[in-house]
Amino acid sequence: MTEPMVISSPHRHVGITVRGVMVRVAAALAPGILVYLWIFGPGVLIQCVLAMATAVATEALILRWRGRPIRTALGDGSVIVTGLLLALCLSPLTPWWVTLMATVFAVALGKHAFGGLGQNLFNPAMAGFVFVLLCFPAPMNKWPAVPAAGAPAPGLMNSLGVIFVPKAEAVDAVSGASALNHMKSRLGLMEMVSEIRSDPVYGNFGGRGWEWIAMAWLAGGVALLVLGVIRWHIPAAFIAGMTCVSGITWLMNADVYAAPVFHLATPGAMLGAFFIATDPVTAATSDRGRLAYGVLIGILAGLLRIWGIYPDGIAFAVLIGNACAPVIDRYTQPRVLGVAG
């Protein structure tokens, strides 16, 4: 007897697919990538292409090795978004082999070692990022200098050269420090925030140029909220947590601690709040849980930025948050209807 086909209600679907979600996330990243491109030249695009291609190739290989259908898994698009997010966390000047290793680590160990889509405990992009940050700190700290007003961004050949033919002079010619690096190192030299902020690398809120990228991530994030791809709890809680930590320290001593708005106007904070911490697989699931999860990451990221040895702590904060998500879920289960609470 043949097995009867099982058709169970509901007979309708809202029409969202995982792939649809991923396409929307990628589209929401577009404005930020464009601003990035405009300010810093094509380096960022090269990183994105490199990381996405590596991610797809890695996943295809692993799926093949695990004997899983390659087409469906690649078709969901999640690995492409992983590659994209990872590339956007890296400096556009990152040497190609660093990007490659970060991506392979992210996909192979961050995602598939846990069983693939939906099974991973840690955000793969952040796992890959932290991996190379710990192993190759030197190239990771080279950030492009914001071109002086009127000066053009580095061209394609220049960017390709920096990434694929790492000659020290070429790198130094274009490299500077991100606003966070800059702030951190100058604070270490016992300068006051107000003095440091008068440096031309700063703009109105954060680093000059960088703040525009942050705005673009914010715009993309709001678009995701409006489209219903993400919900407000995690970004809002993240921003609240980070504002809290930076606000308290700033109120305590505005000379040695930067204002909350400086922290929020960094690309890392906005990308983290709207695109990385909101990765559903590794976040808490209930609304209350997500608030707790977001606040936790926001606070940790703030603390790590202020007192950590790395200029930015968002990746670490997200990974710690990931590790706590199951516990958070456990204690924030919604009260089932009709159960006295």
Partner 1 sequence: MIRELHAFPGGLPLAHYMEWTCGEESLLQPLPARIVLPLQQHIGLPATPIVNMGDKVLKGQKIAAASGYVSVSIHASTSGTVTDIGDHPAPHPAGITARCIVIEPDGEDHWYDIRPVDEYTTVDPRRLQEVIRDCGISGLGGAGFPAHVKINEGVENAVDTLIINGVECEPYITCDDRLIQEKASYVVAGTRMIGHAVQAKHRVIAVESDMPAAYAALARLVGDDIELVQVPARYPAGGEKQLIQVITGKEVPCGGLAIHIGILVQNVATAAAVYRAVTRGEPVVSRYVTVAGAVPRPRNLQVLLGTPVTDCLRTCGYEPQPGERIILGGPMMGQHLRSTDVPITKTSNCILVQQEPEPAVELPCIRCGNCATACPIRLLPQQLYLDTRAGNYDAARQHHLFDCIECGCCSYVCPSHIPLVQYYRHAKSHISAEERRRDGADHARSRFEARNDRLRADASAETQRESAGNTASANSEYVRAAVERTLARRQARDAGPDGETGSHD
Residue ranges binding partner 1 (CB under 8 A): 3-14, 16-18, 20-21, 72, 76, 78, 116-119, 231, 280-281, 283, 285-287, 290, 333-340
State the DSSP code for 155.
-
Q: Considering the complex, state which of residue 66 and residue 167 has its C-beta at the smaller distance from partner 1.
A: 66
State whether residue 124 is helix, strand or coil. Answer: helix
Residue corresponding to tokens 């700033």: 250
Q: Considering the complex, state which of residue 43 and residue 77 has its C-beta at the smaller distance from partner 1.
A: 77
**Whole-angstrom distance, CA of residue 248 vs CA of residue 245:** 5
**Whole-angstrom distance, CA of residue 66 vs CA of residue 77:** 19
The least distance separating partner 1 from the CB of residue 287, rounded to whole angstroms, comes to 7
Q: Considering the complex, state which of residue 47 and residue 78 has its C-beta at the smaller distance from partner 1.
A: 78
Task: Say what angle helices 314-331 and 287-307 make with each other, to 10 degrees.
Answer: 150
The least distance separating partner 1 from the CB of residue 83, rounded to whole angstroms, comes to 17
Q: Considering the complex, state which of residue 184 and residue 290 has its C-beta at the smaller distance from partner 1.
A: 290
Q: Considering the complex, state which of residue 8 and residue 194 has its C-beta at the smaller distance from partner 1.
A: 8
The least distance separating partner 1 from the CB of residue 311, rounded to whole angstroms, comes to 31
The least distance separating partner 1 from the CB of residue 183, rounded to whole angstroms, comes to 36
The least distance separating partner 1 from the CB of residue 59, rounded to whole angstroms, comes to 14
Rg (CA), the chain: 21
The least distance separating partner 1 from the CB of residue 115, rounded to whole angstroms, comes to 8
Q: Considering the complex, state which of residue 155 and residue 334 has its C-beta at the smaller distance from partner 1.
A: 334
Alpha helix locations (H) across the chain? 18-40, 43-66, 70-75, 78-89, 96-104, 124-135, 137-140, 156-164, 168-174, 179-188, 193-197, 210-227, 233-252, 260-264, 267-271, 287-307, 314-331
**Whole-angstrom distance, CA of residue 19 vs CA of residue 163:** 31
**Whole-angstrom distance, CA of residue 137 vs CA of residue 132:** 7
Instruction: Count the residues in the chain.
Output: 341
